[in-house]
Amino acid sequence: MSELLDYIDKNHDAAVDRLKELLSIPSVSTDPHYQNDVQICADFLVDLIKNDLGLKAETLETPGHPVVFVKTGDEDVSNPDAPRVLFYGHYDVQPPDPEDLWESPAFEPVVKDGKVYARGACDDKGQVTCFLEALRALKATRKDGELPCHVTLVIEGEEECGSEHLPKFIKDNVDKLGADICLVCDTSMWNATTPAITYALRGLLYFDVQLHGPSRDLHSGVFGGTLANPCNILARVLGNLFDDKNRINIPGFYDEVDPITDEEKSSWDRLSFDENEFLGDVDAKPYGEHRYTTLERRWGRPSCDVNGIYGGYMGKGAKTVIPSFAGAKVSFRIPSSMDPVRTAKLFTDWLNNQPVADLKWKLESHGVAYPVATPLDSPYIQPAIEAIEAIAGKKPALVREGATIPIVADFKQILGLDSLLIGFGLESDAIHSPNEHFGLDRHKLGIKTLATLLENFSKMKKV
Amino acid sequence: MSELLDYIDKNHDAAVDRLKELLSIPSVSTDPHYQNDVQICADFLVDLIKNDLGLKAETLETPGHPVVFVKTGDEDVSNPDAPRVLFYGHYDVQPPDPEDLWESPAFEPVVKDGKVYARGACDDKGQVTCFLEALRALKATRKDGELPCHVTLVIEGEEECGSEHLPKFIKDNVDKLGADICLVCDTSMWNATTPAITYALRGLLYFDVQLHGPSRDLHSGVFGGTLANPCNILARVLGNLFDDKNRINIPGFYDEVDPITDEEKSSWDRLSFDENEFLGDVDAKPYGEHRYTTLERRWGRPSCDVNGIYGGYMGKGAKTVIPSFAGAKVSFRIPSSMDPVRTAKLFTDWLNNQPVADLKWKLESHGVAYPVATPLDSPYIQPAIEAIEAIAGKKPALVREGATIPIVADFKQILGLDSLLIGFGLESDAIHSPNEHFGLDRHKLGIKTLATLLENFSKMKKV
């Protein structure tokens, strides 16, 4: 094993250079302005995997952004009977805004104090390259350049805008995607020295809700007090989303929420989660649904956030206008027992029942993602625990995650596959925020751990 | 008199050309991006008045945008003992946004179907030029080119951003501004054929209220449910602004609001205001404080509007973020008995008492403007009624206005002057909105009426 780890140590500078090149491509999937860059990023990865790793790689089209697809043949692996791994990651990134808060431009990666700074540094380009570099190291150090087991890579380009086309892609490619276990690298470590295996993710539903009123913007002096102002009424509706116990105020909303079991509560208590440290890092204090701890609210309870709100005059100074419409981005995170389609209907029904004078809703769904939970007795977990223990020197934490990786539910529902969620991010990496970054030590830890995990799988029999 | 009116008829095409030239200057006062254009506009007017009308004109500096100042000497007028008129208007305009809703560019004036379309066409460049063209016609048709009475013109450049520096300007120039009556042309006719004299204006207070939370934008999955989201909480606060009778929910808010007298109610009833026509024009229905008619809410009651709201992700598609702050533009219109300074304090106290978890307010005032009322028995009203009757062929309506002209209160408080508010706009002119326009027939009506009014004044003795 030490030849593998030595190789990774000695070649890490080059690995970081390759990561920086990838990070310099602004593959923002949600904004059509970047459409061409998303394609460039996909092509860049295919070239790198084909020419550099010598594996079959291609872009597969979807109605949206393409999927980077890689699949080993029997000639590529030493043990074709070992469990086949379906690796999932994404090469698209969040928008860079607010750009003026970045200390260096979002798409001009720089290394500072042992961290690489750029949009996507952690989420998910940094983590994807952990796996690619693991493959490179395995090929470079193993007999005949063979990988220890079959791997299929699905690196999508629409994770940050809801993975709209990936479910159909999976359905259309069930044969190509045959595997025994999924490996997903888009999550966080428990803390700076303790990797985690995440066994449950919350689901997501996301809406753009607009309230339309007068046929044009109006002078607020001439019309003020005579008609319903969409900004005023939208605020009132959104202000009604929570009751005085900070519970979501939608009838029936909690009907499907399973209580957090005593066993799970005890297990989470043992993690010694420090809510003041977690929130103090962003100058915030705990706030939310009464009677639950911060960790419980984050992992086991639904949440609702207005992710954005807009309407009327948003520039500098004053403009005395009554806007013709106002809108908001509203999303819900839901724990594993909730159905996002049912929840979406509860929300839109609730909106349509709110008193809004003569204003009219325009509701647009930006997609739903199912929550997911992987059984803790899955046979693939033990090799992962051992790989982490071997590299990090300690057992991983077994955790849930408040965030959403929609595709994990699709892998389960369509392919019948459980997923191992092993990531090397930290909450402090500022993903989705200005100055996103990724520690190079964790990048290297990721490469070593994933390479070791594939080695461990090669020693298993197929389940 | 008919030589004067004939001149105005025959030279109106040239007057419209001059107006279009003025409208092509984007003198948006609230946005620093247009700073230079505001100065260009002021200089343009000075040149026009000096070279074209032969009157003394200059720009007078303020800490903000300059004032265009014009003052006749005794050599310019035939009757120096007639009442001296202080004319007030503004050459600045509202921002053009949303620009994509303009059928022709906001600063490329076009004449279509007898109307001129451009930002400022009515508010207030169109109305200002009514007075300038009246002066031109009087000089062209009177003996020795003398005006009938003294006029002082104050054409300011900050009306659309709160006239911040004008009160001090008036205080600093009390001597220069000596006059007997103010004439303000920034209001509307009662309907397309009936001019109005406006005797009361609502006051205004305008705030930018921001609620700040976490030190950076956060991932809504990782943090959703654990802390206070500024968008959610701001919506809740703004949603509390009104009670279930659509009354403003701030303790003490209505203490200074005088009831509308029975006499005034009767007088307004005789105007046959059609709320369905007024609001139907903008596809809206009556909505507001219970127990008041639409006209009463508009003229005699306070109103509160969220003029803009912003926070988090406002672009296309979805971004799963908890924003670090959210903000709103909030303004109040107040009838003549209310004190805007006291009202502003009530509002900010109320905001500061709202529960906002650990979030912090950043409040910025964009100024207050006092409401105003001119006595209906002012001796200057009869000559105005007669001028209107002579030109329009009917008596004017005597009305209030829901909108605000802050300077009218300053003229009263600082100079002791009442104002005649005689304007030629219509509600349908889309001021502050895309496709603002001004009917050329009303432009000509304004020129004739104002010229006649100055003639009528010259027949008065000083009061």
Q: A264-301: per-residue pLDDT in tens? A: 898 899 898 999 999 998 999 999 999 999 999 999 99
Residue B421 backbone zone (phi > 0: left; psi -120 to 50: alpha; other: beta): beta
- List strand residue ranges (DSSP E) for B343-396, in order: 360-369, 372-373
Q: How many domains does chain B have?
A: 2
CB burial readout A244-262, b (16+ within 10 A) else e: eebbbebeebeeebeebee
Chain A stretch 182-201, residues whose beta carbon is closer than 8 A to a beta carbon of chain B? 188
Indicate if B95 and B132 belong to the same structural domain. yes
3-class SS at A243? coil
The alpha-carbon gap from B193 to the nearest alpha carbon of chain A, in Å, equals: 19
| Contacts B216 to A, Cβ<8 Å | 101, 282, 430, 433-435
In this predicted structure, the answer to whether residue B1 has a pLDDT above a threshold of 60 is no
Q: If you average pLDDT over residues A317-325, what whole number do you get?
A: 95
**A90: Cβ contacts below 8 Å, ≥ 6 apart:** A124, A128, A155, A156, A157, A158, A159, A160, A186
Tell me whether residues A206 and B285 touch, CB distance under 8 A: no
Domain's final residue, options B343, B369, B395: B369
**CATH assignment at residue A402:** 3.40.630.10
**CATH assignment at residue A223:** 3.30.70.360
Indicate if A330 and A431 belong to the same structural domain. no
* Residues A322, B305 contacting (CB under 8 angstroms): yes
The pLDDT value given to residue B463: 62
d(CA A416, CA B203): 67
User: Is B277 among the domain residues?
Assistant: no
User: Is A286 among the domain residues?
Assistant: no
Least confident of A79-83, B85-89, B285-289, B298-302: A79-83
Tell me whether residues B309 and A307 touch, CB distance under 8 A: no
Tokens representing A210 are 């607009």
Q: What ipTM was assigned to the predicted interfaces of this complex?
A: 0.78
Count CB atoms within 10 A of the CB of residue A192.
10
Higher-confidence residue of B342 and A262: namely: B342
Q: What is the largest CA-CA distance in chain B?
A: 82
- Nearest residue to B92 via CA among B68, B70, B71, B58: B68
User: Is B246 among the domain residues?
Assistant: yes
CA angle B164, B168, B171 (to 5 degrees): 150
The alpha-carbon gap from B455 to the nearest alpha carbon of chain A, in Å, equals: 31
User: Is A283 among the domain residues?
Assistant: no
Q: If you average pLDDT over residues B71-81, what whole number do you get?
A: 93
Indicate if A419 and A327 belong to the same structural domain. no
- Name the DSSP letter for residue B205: E
Could you tell me if A285 lies within 8 Å of chain B, comparing CB atoms? yes
Sign of the Cα torsion A155, A156, A157, A161 reads negative
d(CA A123, CA A102): 16
d(CA A354, CA B309): 20
What is the per-residue pLDDT across B4-23, written as a single tens digit (0 to 9) for each? 999 999 999 999 999 999 99
Indicate if A392 and A309 belong to the same structural domain. no
Domain's final residue, options A317, A347, A369: A369
The alpha-carbon gap from A428 to the nearest alpha carbon of chain B, in Å, equals: 10
Closest chain B residue to A360, measured at CA? B284
User: Is A73 among the domain residues?
Assistant: yes
The pLDDT value given to residue B216: 95
Q: Which residue has the tokens 């998910």?
A: A124
Q: What phi, psi does A199 have (nearest 5°)? A: -110, -5
Could you tell me if B240 lies within 8 Å of chain A, comparing CB atoms? yes
Chain B stretch 116-145, residues whose beta carbon is closer than 8 A to a beta carbon of chain A? none
Q: If you average pLDDT over residues B297-322, what whole number do you get?
A: 96
What is the per-residue pLDDT across A122-176, written as a single tens digit (0 to 9) for each? 999 999 999 999 999 999 999 999 999 999 999 999 999 888 899 999 999 999 9
Q: If you average pLDDT over residues B378-394, what whole number do you get?
A: 94
Q: What is the dihedral of CA A414, A419, A423, A429, to 10 degrees?
A: 40
Nearest-by-Cβ selection for A31 from B224, B317, B404: B317
β-pair partners for A333? A204, A303
d(CA B74, CA B182): 19
In this predicted structure, the answer to whether residue A347 has a pLDDT above a threshold of 80 is yes
Nearest-by-Cβ selection for B232 from A241, A314, A317: A241
Chain A stretch 358-397, residues whose beta carbon is closer than 8 A to a beta carbon of chain B? 358, 366-367
User: Is B66 among the domain residues?
Assistant: yes
CA gyration radius, chain B: 23
Indicate if A109 and A234 belong to the same structural domain. no
Domain's final residue, options A350, A369, A388: A369
Indicate if A180 and A307 belong to the same structural domain. no
Could you tell me if B329 lies within 8 Å of chain A, comparing CB atoms? yes
pLDDT confidence tier of residue A83, bands split at 50, 70 and 90: very high
- Judged on CB neighbours under 10 Å (0-12, 13-18, 19+), B359 is buried
* Residues A167, A85 contacting (CB under 8 angstroms): no
The pLDDT value given to residue A361: 98
Indicate if B187 and B197 belong to the same structural domain. yes
d(CA B144, CA A81): 110
User: Is A291 among the domain residues?
Assistant: no
User: Is B328 among the domain residues?
Assistant: yes
Q: What phi, psi does B22 have (nearest 5°)? A: -65, -40
The pLDDT value given to residue A463: 61
Could you tell me if B175 lies within 8 Å of chain A, comparing CB atoms? no
Tell me whether residues B402 and A223 touch, CB distance under 8 A: yes
Indicate if A196 and A306 belong to the same structural domain. no
Indicate if A358 and A231 belong to the same structural domain. yes
**A274: Cβ contacts below 8 Å, ≥ 6 apart:** none
| Contacts A242 to B, Cβ<8 Å | 232, 236
What is the per-residue pLDDT across B117-143, written as a single tens digit (0 to 9) for each? 999 999 999 999 999 999 999 999 999
Q: Which residue has the tokens 């659309």?
A: B160
pLDDT confidence tier of residue B266, bands split at 50, 70 and 90: confident
* Residues A274, A191 contacting (CB under 8 angstroms): no
The alpha-carbon gap from A448 to the nearest alpha carbon of chain B, in Å, equals: 26
- Name the DSSP letter for residue A261: P
Tell me whether residues A31 and B313 touch, CB distance under 8 A: no
What is the per-residue pLDDT across A18-51, written as a single tens digit (0 to 9) for each? 999 999 999 999 999 999 999 999 999 999 999 9
Indicate if B99 and B157 belong to the same structural domain. yes
The pLDDT value given to residue A403: 87
Nearest-by-Cβ selection for A427 from B160, B222, B430: B222
Tell me whether residues A434 and B216 touch, CB distance under 8 A: yes
* Residues B412, B431 contacting (CB under 8 angstroms): no
* Residues B18, B24 contacting (CB under 8 angstroms): no
- Give me the domain span that covers residue A24: 2-201+371-458
Could you tell me if A237 lies within 8 Å of chain B, comparing CB atoms? yes
What is the per-residue pLDDT across B169-214, written as a single tens digit (0 to 9) for each? 999 999 999 999 999 998 889 999 999 999 899 999 999 999 999 9
β-pair partners for A397? A196
The pLDDT value given to residue B331: 98
β-pair partners for A90? A156
Nearest-by-Cβ selection for A225 from B303, B317, B427: B303
Closest chain A residue to B224, measured at CA? A303
Angstrom CA distances, A292 to A251, A295, B238, stand at 20, 8, 27
Q: If you average pLDDT over residues B346-362, what whole number do you get?
A: 98
Indicate if B331 and B437 belong to the same structural domain. no
- Name the DSSP letter for residue A160: G
The pLDDT value given to residue A367: 86
Mean pLDDT value across chain B: 95
Indicate if B219 and B197 belong to the same structural domain. no
The pLDDT value given to residue B163: 87
Q: Which residue has the tokens 């509701």?
A: A363
In this predicted structure, the answer to whether residue A462 has a pLDDT above a threshold of 80 is no
| Contacts B304 to A, Cβ<8 Å | 224, 232
β-strands A115-117, A397-401: how paired? unpaired
The pLDDT value given to residue B462: 64
